Copies of this chain bind each other. A is one copy, B any other.
Amino acid sequence: MSERVLSIQSHVAFGYVGGKAAIFPLQCLGYDVDAINTVNFSNHAGYRRSGGTKTNAEELKAMFDAMEANELLRPSRLLTGYIPGAEALSAVHNQAVKLKHHNPDLIYVLDPVMGDAGRIYVAEDVIPVYRKMLPLATVITPNWFEVETLTETPLVNMGALRSAISTLHKEYQVPNVVVSSIPLYPWLLAALPSAIADLVGKSGEHLLCIASSYDSQDISVYAGCVPTIPGYFSGVGDLFSALLLGFYNSPSLHIPAGATPLASAVSQALTKTHAVLCKTHEYSETLPEIERLATDDEKDAEDPMRRIRRMRGRELRLVQSQDIIRGTKAVAPRDMVKWQNFI
* A residues apposed to B, CB below 8 Å: 2, 11, 13-15, 20, 24, 27-28, 30-37, 40-43, 47, 49-53, 55, 59, 61-67, 69-72, 305, 308-309, 312, 318-320, 322
Question: Counting chain B CB atoms within 10 Å of each CB, which of A14, A43, A59, A62 scores highest?
Answer: A14
Question: Given A37-B40, A319-B27, are A312 and B72 also a contact pair (CB < 8 Å)?
Answer: yes
Are A30 and B63 in contact (CB-based, < 8 A)? no
Enumerate chain B residues within 8 angstroms of A11, measured Cβ to Cβ.
11, 35, 37
| Chain A to chain B: the 8 pairs with minimum beta-carbon distance, closest first | A51-B66, A51-B62, A42-B66, A42-B63, A14-B72, A51-B63, A42-B67, A14-B34
Q: In the complex, what distance in Å separates the CA atom of A305 from the CA atom of B71?
A: 9
Separation of A59 and B28 alpha carbons in the complex (Å) = 31
Contacts of A69 in B (CB 8 A): 49
Given contacts A13-B35, A63-B41, contact A308 B70 (CB under 8 A): yes
Contact assessment for A37 and B34 in the assembled complex, using a CB-CB cutoff below 8 Å: no
Known: A11-B35, A13-B37, A42-B64. 9 other contacts (CB 8 A): A11-B11, A13-B36, A13-B63, A14-B67, A15-B34, A27-B322, A40-B40, A49-B69, A52-B66
Complex Cα distance, B41 from A139, in Å, reads 28
Q: Which of A51, A62, A65 gathers most chain B CB within 10 Å?
A: A51
Q: Which residues of B contact A15 (CB under 8 A)?
A: 34, 72
Q: Of the candidates B13, B36, B50, B320, which one forms a contact with A34 in the assembled complex, judged by CB atoms under 8 Å apart?
A: B13
* Given A13-B63, A40-B40, also A319-B32 (CB < 8 A): yes
The oligomer's copy count stands at 2
A33 nearest in chain B by CB position: B319
- Whether A71 and B35, one on each chain, are in contact in the complex, defined by CB atoms closer than 8 angstroms, is no
Determine whether the beta carbon of B53 is less than 8 Å from that of A67: no
A135 to chain B, nearest CB (A): 25
Known: A24-B27, A32-B319. A70 touches B42 (CB 8 A): yes
The smallest C-beta distance from A220 to any residue of chain B, in angstroms, reads 34
CB distance from A201 to the nearest CB of B (A): 38
Query: Closest residue to A56 on the B side, CB-wise?
Result: B53
> Are A70 and B52 interface neighbours, CB within 8 A?
no
Q: With a CB–CB cut-off of 8 A, which chain B residues contact A322?
A: 27-28
User: For A309, what are the chain B residues with a Cβ–Cβ distance below 8 Å?
Assistant: 71
User: A157 CB to closest chain B CB, in angstroms?
Assistant: 42
- Smallest CB gap from A326: residue in B: B322
What is the CB-to-nearest-CB distance from A40 to chain B, in angstroms, rounded to a whole number?
A: 6
